[in-house]
Structure 1
Amino acid sequence: MEKDFVDIVPLAVQPNVLIVNAGSPYKSLMDVVNAAKAKPGAINWGHAGVGSGTHLNTEKFVDAAKINVTQVPFKGTPEVIQAMLSQSVDCYWAPISAAIPHIKGGRVRPLAVSTAKRNGQLPDVPTTGEAGVTGADAPLWFALWGPVGIPAGIVNKISSDTRKALKDPAVRDRLVGLGNDTMDMSPEEFKIFVRSEVQEYARVVKAAGIQPQ
């Protein structure tokens, strides 16, 4: 990635939400963990395809929780949620933007969010750490990159203008309303953050034995 792109500025971060069918017997994250430990492989856990963010979130969570589940890959989030509504899968780390309509509609139950702090759209839903599993944070973040060779002055200008825009109440409120929290980092800080994320998910991929498909 360093060979092709220059880190410019992060935009926003949002959690995935661990959801189960509203009729599920699982009322908390630890209900899921305890059930998985009691019967390894019995829980069907959906994700949006090998290598997707929801897949990596699942791998990081099962590693941190020390559980074994049966992972069921789908083409994307809509297919996973449809399978959950028909009770074909038990659990899913769903992007918050996709989960909220079903949570508000009473069709699914949220058990935890994948970020280090609670989300303003779901203030009563605990983080994974609060719910009993540490080391499982898996935030979904968005950012801007540029091509290698882009002048530093342009990088700094884009970064400065973007960070200023993200402080605008109308912009911030719009992002927050979609389940995001804005991020604020200089290009140097963002570069360090990206490298740490790359290293962490390289560890997750290696530990899970994920192969390119």
Structure 2
Amino acid sequence: PRVQPVRMLPGARPRAAKPPPFVPAGQSTQMIVGADGTDDRTILASSATLYGSYGLRRVYYSAFSPIPDAASALPLRAPPLVREHRLYQADWLMRFYGYGHAEIVPGEGGLLRLDVDPKLAWALAHPERFPVDLNRAPRELLLRVPGLGVGSVDKLLQARRVRRLRPEDLRALRVPAGKVLPFVLLDGYRPPKMEAIAAPPPPAQQASLFA
């Protein structure tokens, strides 16, 4: 049989196919770290703006790598690779732990500490916020305890609905007790004073990249 052509009804218009959304998984961007004198506070502030105002899914950080015969404005050596790692850790704290970018970086210097991770650095700089009572503290405070991740906090919240938590419960729940115990209160346990834990943080320093 002969195939009849499709007839359009009077006034009808063909339905245009909708274009696929731009980058369905969400947009991301990358920042090169150490190519100029921009400090970590400024980098994280930019990331916070990109997340909050522009809805970016992810910001990536990449340490600058010198190339031969580069422009004289570029540094001659790469920044410490650990700086890139610390920025990723700080970014994680902003996205999943409720930290503001301004509180992660110390007030002086504008650089993250390289010797400890940003969460521990924040805790050592704020001894007045510790110890945190694991049997009573809300979730947002538990997330500030060094050694406690999102999964560990959820397990602790579930366990304390059933019983009062003691030090041995941390190990049973596979929580890193060595990292957590200096910063928390539990039934039958009180940590040493924060002064015994926190040595005065050294000033953030970075060797000149242009030397």
Q: Same fold (TM over 0.5)?
A: no
Which structure is higher in RCO with an 8 Å CA cutoff and minimum separation 6? Answer: 1
Tell me which protein shows more strand as a share of its residues.
1
Q: TM-score range by the shorter chain?
A: under 0.3
